[in-house]
Amino acid sequence: MDRKIGFAASLVCAAGAAAVWPRLTVRQYTLKSRKVHVPFRFVLLSDLHRSRYGTRQRDLLLAVHRARPDAVFLAGDMVPDTARPENTRELLAGLRDCAPVFYVTGNHEQRCGRADLARKWMRAYGVSVLAGRSVSLQKEGEEICLCGIDDPDVDFYGRSAWLSQLERCAADRREDVFTILLSHRPELFPLYAARGFDLTVCGHAHGGQVRIPGLVNGLYAPNQGVLPRYAGGLYQCGESAMVVSRGLDKNRLPRFCNPPECVAIDVLPASSGKEIP
């Protein structure tokens, strides 16, 4: 009997540990659009901070490479506030031969004064920095427009500059071309949707830290407060969609039933009957 009780207690402890310190997971979302005629796959990463996933970020890089993306999106807070950036550099080095990589700043990079340095590091590894500009991504004769804006940290960056970047990206949008916006902040989704972006990809919310599947999608998120509306997942506002990553940070606060994630996003032709395997 004592052995059975001990075994049961061990199982409970193991389950509790797995819930509080969950392992990296790969989350997949699928969208369909009349604006694309060939399938695209993207990987979204956000909020790495100073987290490490194996030697030289092997586990995270393996997940990204296995997804075989057409592009990788880095949606802010990918650089630590004060620590040395080896984890970020190892990730960037491993992404160089995977796919084109695109980056926007997050609130931590702005607030700690490392935004310019972060952009310099990104460019050194061949990453395209989208700070209020748009680029075209081509595949099999098909075009997708990628836009990106810096984080609107009011105290340290300035909302007027951020809004100028947003309007510049909106002006580059064409009705017949599927357009993706990279932005760190999900709570501003109604502003993105009002400007007609087909898809916005974000981070920042860290999944709300605590999640109870089927009941609570997230307990608390910065700039959203308790029970955040956009903690993590796929959201719709009119014709616009938004995917919010639960992020990669596992160093700051415990994550309960809220694993750090590598997000894969498939954008398929509207006529497609099946998801990409």
Per-residue model confidence as pLDDT tens digits over 143-190 = 999 999 998 875 444 577 888 999 999 999 999 999 999 999 999 999
When mean pLDDT is compared across 27-41, 92-106, 245-259, the lowest value belongs to: 245-259
Instruction: Classify residue 10: in a domain, yes or no.
Output: no
Q: How many domains does the chain have?
A: 1
Instruction: Classify residue 169: in a domain, yes or no.
Output: yes
Instruction: Classify residue 9: in a domain, yes or no.
Output: no
Environment class of residue 42 by beta-carbon count within 10 Å: exposed (0-12), middle (13-18) or buried (19+)? buried
The overall pTM is greater than 0.85: yes
Distance (Å, whole) CA 146 – CA 200? 10
Distance (Å, whole) CA 144 – CA 33? 12
Instruction: Classify residue 14: in a domain, yes or no.
Output: no
Distance (Å, whole) CA 142 – CA 38? 7
Instruction: Classify residue 13: in a domain, yes or no.
Output: no
Instruction: Classify residue 234: in a domain, yes or no.
Output: yes
Angle at 131 between CA 114 and CA 127, to 5 degrees: 75
Instruction: Classify residue 131: in a domain, yes or no.
Output: yes
Distance (Å, whole) CA 258 – CA 82? 25
Q: Is the pLDDT of residue 239 over 80?
A: yes
Instruction: Tell me the residue range of the domain where 241 lies.
Output: 25-269
Q: Given this model, what pLDDT does residue 20 score?
A: 58
193-231: per-residue pLDDT in tens?
A: 999 999 999 999 999 999 998 889 999 998 999 999 999
- CATH number at 105 reads 3.60.21.10
Instruction: Classify residue 189: in a domain, yes or no.
Output: yes
